[in-house]
Structure 1
Amino acid sequence: MELTNRESLAKSYSLAMLKSFLIWTFTLGVCLLVVGFPLIVLMVTVGAFLAITLQSVLPVSAVLLVAGSLIGANILAVVIGAAILTFKGVHPEEVHWLNWLHGGPDPLNESVYAACPLTCDLTK
């Protein structure tokens, strides 16, 4: 009985860790694409200059090498960041700016209609 309980606890803990890791990977990937757009533009610019520079040394695969290394570095950064946050025990439900992720209502947005000053009770 105790062995069965211990295995189910370990299994549920590992599933929770996997879920947390996948959520962090998704969240950091979206944040990299949306918030890090200027960083992506800078990386593309530097990558273009590197590809032009390496074209004289590696004529066939310079663009492939530069593009693959930039994409690989971004994926590696997202996965390592997600792994660090997961193993430190930071759960996405605990982060206050991730209310969009777990479907919580946005407390700052309240609907105000045109007739509201006449019909609504604004003394909340």
Structure 2
Amino acid sequence: MVLAQRRSWEKTYFTLAKSFLIWSFTLTVCLLVVGFPLVVVMATLGVLFTIILQSVLPVSAVLIVSGGMLGANVLAVIVGAAILTFKGIHPEDVSWLHWLHGKTNHPQPATYAACPLTCNLAR
């Protein structure tokens, strides 16, 4: 009985860890690909903050600003993945993540205007 209960907990932890890792990967990819304009805005703000901070801390302004921005991005991805995981939203349930499932969508073959005259319709 104890062994059966232990196995169910291990399976639950494995499922949670797998879901968290998939969500963190997905959110990282979305941040890099889809969020490119956001990255440009963050880089612009980072340059402005570095210029402002340069007058106060001339040696480490770039390090502080870049470390803070990188840390904020990593923290946002980890917190987002944790929230989605603990709410019970699995990546397999999300329809727009079909590229994660390994299933391919076969598009309908194109039908051209001349096809009824020239194509063999009885394939």
TM-score by length of 2: 0.90
The answer to whether 1:18 aligns with 2:17 is yes
**Letter of the 2:16 counterpart:** M
Distance 1:119 1:75 in 2: 55
Partner of 1:97: 96
Residue aligned with 2:38, SS: helix
Partner of 2:31: 32
**Letter of the 2:31 counterpart:** L
The answer to whether 1:110 aligns with 2:111 is no
**Letter of the 1:80 counterpart:** V
Give the RMSD, CA atoms, in angstroms: 2.0
The gaps in structure 2 that reach 5 residues or longer are: none
**Segments of 4+ in structure 1 off by > 3 A?**
111-117
Distance 1:67 1:97 in 2: 32
Partner of 1:7: 6
**In the TM superposition, what is the alpha-carbon distance from 1:104 to its structure 2 partner?**
1.5
The answer to whether 1:80 aligns with 2:79 is yes
Identity %: 54
The gaps in structure 1 that reach 5 residues or longer are: none
**Letter of the 1:110 counterpart:** Q
Distance 2:89 2:74 in 1: 20
The alignment covers a number of residue pairs equal to 120
Distance 1:10 1:120 in 2: 56
Partner of 1:49: 48
Distance 1:116 1:3 in 2: 67
Residue aligned with 1:100, SS: helix
